[in-house]
Amino acid sequence: MKNLVPKTARAQIVRACAIGVALVAATACGDKAANARAAADSDLARDLALASSQPAAQPTFQDTTVAPTPTPAKRVEQAPPAPVRTHTAKQPKRQTPRPVVQTPAPQPVQTPFVMAPTPPPAPAEAPAPAPASIGAGSGFALTSGSKVCTSTNLPGDKLVATVNEAVTGANGAVIPAGSSVVLEVASVSPGDNGQNAQITFRVRSVVVNDKTYNVAAEVTPLTPLEKTKVAGDPNADRNKVIGGAIAGALIGQILGHNTKGTVIGAAAGAATGAAAARAGQKWEGCLPAGAAMKLTLSSALVL
């Protein structure tokens, strides 16, 4: 009885069962996509058409078992498994973020290192201009402005002389003509009755353009001193002559006891009186006003 059903029929039955199972699975999966159901229905219709087109084999009764002629089994086309639709979560719509333009942080500006140029060497200081000056040893002529005598002037007395001609020196130094030179009496010597009288001077200052300069210099009178009689009492000299004559006359009278002796004595007495009068006279040496003098600088006069 096992062999009553042909293998072909069994294959068809198996195939039908498989199709049934597929239909049940397709029916159970109600949430599958429409395209999957359409594909399954198409496969089922095709399989049923194939099954109905095959004639059923009539069974034969024989004493011996006759093996049916094997027919090549038709290759059962297995339907591809229905795609299993898996429920996937709906992916959120991804929004492409807008590119954020990042402003680069400002970079610190580096000041380029620039070497300071080497300063040029400082120019040498110009030498100070040389001062205007009259050199040492320079001499110039003066004229005395007042009379100076040995009997009336004392050391320390002042007098003023004037420069006769302009004196020029270095760097534009000039002492104009007529400039004043202040002199001082250094010493006086009356001498013997006016003979060999001397007066020395020293230079105190030079006045140039109303500006006074102290100066070291020597000054020498070029005009000799004049001998001058010191004025005294004229009656005193006369009395001396008369007294001498009287005294001589008396002496002659006494000695000669006559007129001749008296006259001779009187004459001798007068001469003696005159000599006595002369001996009592005083003389002085004087440098007159307007006398020539010479000034010589001992050191430079800086103007």
| 213 pLDDT above the threshold of 50 | yes
Strand 198-208 vs strand 180-189: parallel, antiparallel, or unpaired? antiparallel
Q: What gap in Å lies between CA 100 and CA 241, rounded to an integer? A: 150
Mean pLDDT, range 104-109, rounded to an integer? 72
Task: Give the pLDDT band (50/70/90) at residue 125.
Answer: confident
pTM of model > 0.85: no
Q: What gap in Å lies between CA 55 and CA 296, rounded to an integer? A: 177
> In the chain, how long is the greatest CA-to-CA distance?
262
Residue 211's pLDDT is 95
Give 37-78 pLDDT, tens digit per residue.
Answer: 666 567 666 766 665 555 555 555 454 555 555 555 555 455
Q: Map residue 187 onto helix, strand or coil.
A: strand
Comparison of pLDDT for 285 and 41, the residue scoring more: 285
Strand 133-134 vs strand 217-221: parallel, antiparallel, or unpaired? unpaired
Comparison of pLDDT for 57 and 169, the residue scoring more: 169
Residue 6's pLDDT is 57
- Burial group, residue 80, by CB count within 10 angstroms (0-12, 13-18, 19+): exposed
Task: Give the pLDDT band (50/70/90) at residue 12.
Answer: confident
Domain locations along the chain: 2-53, 145-226+285-302, 234-280
Residue 196's pLDDT is 86
